[in-house]
Amino acid sequence: MTTKPAYAVAWMNGMNINDDIVEYLRRVDATLTPFHGEFLIHAPELVVAEGTAEGILVVLRFPSTEAAQGWYTSPAYQEILPLRLNNIDREHSFAVLAEGVAPGYSASQKIAEFMS
């Protein structure tokens, strides 16, 4: 059985770039290492294809949902999390952990679930 990857996705609005954010960025990589997490997207220039998108996008990949959850709830990450949370517009920001799809997945596989 193939383990599905998992992703941590954050959309942050109103980020105040200050010493706390710099400290968060200095320390966050070390929190990912034990859980084999890696950055896929980190605050890129966005090409908005639909709607509006103002803010910062971050996507991390982990080998499994358990690894993603382990990272997010780890003491090391929880220690630095307030450095980020206290410097964004929380009302217009979010972070989620999501299980990815297995290799070979097709969107048509979702039809049966939608129809039940």
- What is the C-alpha separation between 70 and 35, in angstroms, rounded? 7
| β-sheet bridge partners, residue 7 | 61, 98
Express each pLDDT in 63-111 by its tens digit: 999 999 999 999 999 999 999 999 999 999 999 999 999 888 899 988 9
- Full-model pTM: 0.91
What tokens does 114 get? 């939608």
- What is the C-alpha separation between 60 and 115, in angstroms, rounded? 32
- pLDDT higher than threshold 80 for residue 7: yes
What tokens does 107 get? 């969107």
Q: What is the CATH number of domain 6-115?
A: 3.30.70.100
Express each pLDDT in 26-60 by its tens digit: 999 999 999 999 999 999 899 999 999 999 999 99
User: What residue segments make up the domains of the chain, in order of their start?
Assistant: 6-115
